[in-house]
Amino acid sequence: MVKNRRIECNYHLCDMGNKFFKKCRYCQKYFCNVHIRPKPAGLPRFEGSTQKDRLFMEEWHKPGGHPCPPYLEHWEEENKRKLQQYKEALDKFVKSKPIKHHEEPSVVFKDGIPIPYERAKKDEIKVSRTVVFIIVLIVAGFLIYTNWSKVSSYLPNISFNDTNKITLNFSRQVYRPTVETRFAQPKQYTLQELRNYALQLINEDRTQNGLKPVALGNNNAAQQHAEDMIENRFLSHWGSDGSKPYMRYTKAGGKGSIAENAAFSGFFYYEPNAVTIDPKESIETHEYQMVNDDADSNWGHRDNILDKNHNKVNIGIAYDSTHLAYVQDFEDDYILWSEPISYSSGILSMEGTSSLGTIQNVALYYDLTPVRLTQSDLLSYFYRGAYSLGDEAGYILAPPPLGSYYDTSSMNYKYVEASRWHVNGGSFAITANIQPLLSKGSGVYTVVLWAKNGNDNVALTTYSIFI
């Protein structure tokens, strides 16, 4: 009996194909790096107002993670313990310092003369206000004196004629800054200079972690996405046309596989006090945060940068005086194609040789046809998180040996048998009728050629077919 070999984490909806697995400290099960973070089990009460409800909502909106019943029990016990400690500390403080009631006097004596307390209090307030007013006047006068050249430019022009009559000229043109002139221009660099600088930072981080450097790729999808983000003011892995990274990569001529990082500097909406940026400083900040301060993203950006199987990176950078969009499309480009992936009338075909790993199988994933998204859509929670390859549509498997068959009772996924399956190590020639796997109808079907490299499952292709 021949069975397809797959590695899965214990989260039943996981389709990320990740390579590293860790044990949850609460439920003691193994999960991939996307789903290792525990979440309270069950659905949150969206109208709830208790601290427990707020925890549910907060954890629910974070991307990734897995439902973990023991985690909620741990949180409740920890919360009870902290509440008890707070009560004990409060009781101890109250008992150690008894409250003293303050009684205000009815009269006060000033120069030996009794004065009602309320009147004396009002006199003190008047004196305090007078002192503050005098200090403000002194400071204002000093600032005007030291900055007279600037202040005088905002006053009307004054001139004296021969008869000592003063004439005022109010014809001065008032300067009103516009959006273009309000901010200083950022330092100017060529796109290639910025890409080389970004590549240098990436390879420094990889080298410090014992990894080989990556080369600069030439796929233009990253640059198109950066320009889209800077023009429409958003940060997302989805484009304004609704596309995902691997879809843009395929349209730009990519034949390998990619994994995207994206970052953005600046406000998404107009801000009159925005600060002029230095593109290189922004790129350096983003690189540092993705590698060293990425806990909010479950260290997904760091894992992508430090993935040992990446051999290229396509870099997209777009900026203006106050904003910068930065995209890293890390690429696994190892196949020398004899026949690139092609699809026609339900028949999928491919042939080539991979210099990395041993070919395992071919998987298909499904996404709905992309639709145009507004800025509000792209800034919403759903489009701000991580992306996946879509829903599992099925697999292409090698024909079983003569006299054998697949045990479909133990297979919880769709599959078709290849009409041509010649695989030897990294060399492959595969043809199959995938029409039975296209049951979801029109949309985007992404072809992933999986290979085994040591203990790692590596996606050699993320090729999208638009149907």
82-96 pLDDT, tens per residue? 778 777 777 766 665
- pLDDT attached to residue 181: 37
Look at the pTM and tell me if it is higher than 0.75. Answer: no
Burial of 167 (0-12, 13-18, 19+ CB in 10 A): exposed
Q: Which of 421, 417, 370, 416 is nearest to 393 (CA)?
A: 416
Higher pLDDT, 73 or 47: 73
* Unique residue bearing structure tokens 């029109």: 442
Q: Which of 3-7, 28-32, 85-89, 327-331 has the lowest mean pLDDT?
A: 3-7
Min mean pLDDT across 16-30, 111-125, 223-237, 298-312 is at 111-125
pLDDT, tens digit, for every residue of 341-355?
A: 999 999 999 999 999
| pLDDT at residue 272 is higher than 90 | no
In angstroms, what CA-CA distances link 82 with 79, 87, 88, 96, 316? 5, 9, 10, 21, 47
Q: Is the pLDDT of residue 256 over 80?
A: yes
pLDDT tens-digit map of 288-311: 999 998 888 889 999 999 999 999
Residue 218 pLDDT greater than 50, yes or no: yes
Does the pLDDT value for residue 221 go beyond 90? Answer: yes
Of 142, 135, 292, nearest to 208 by C-alpha is 292
Over range 19-27, report the average pLDDT.
75
Q: What is the mean pLDDT of residues 179-198?
A: 75
For residue 447, what pLDDT band results from cuts at 50, 70 and 90?
A: very high
pLDDT in tens, 120-141: 667 777 778 888 888 988 888 8
pLDDT at 11 over 80: no
When pLDDT is cut at 50, 70 and 90, the band that residue 389 belongs to is very high
**pLDDT-derived band at 175, boundaries 50, 70, 90:** very low
pLDDT at 417 over 90: yes
Cα–Cα distances in angstroms (integers) from residue 42 to residues 10, 37, 57, 326, 368, in the given order: 17, 15, 11, 37, 27
Q: Are strands 30-32 and 21-23 parallel, antiparallel or unpaired?
A: antiparallel
Tokens 């409060």 correspond to: 90
Residues of the chain above pLDDT 70, percent: 77
Average pLDDT score over residue span 192-216: 96
Arithmetic mean of pLDDT over the chain: 81
**Confidence band of 10 (pLDDT split at 50, 70, 90):** confident
Q: How confident is the model at residue 180 (pLDDT cuts 50, 70, 90)?
A: very low
Specify burial of residue 60 (Cβ count, 10 A radius: 0-12, 13-18, 19+).
middle
Which among 65, 64, 66, 44 is positioned nearest to 55, based on CA atoms? 44
Q: Which residues pair with 465 in a beta bridge?
A: 445
Residues 6 or more apart whose CB falls under 8 angstroms from that of 296 comprise none
| Confidence tier at 248 by pLDDT (50, 70, 90) | very high
Q: Are strands 312-319 and 215-216 parallel, antiparallel or unpaired?
A: parallel
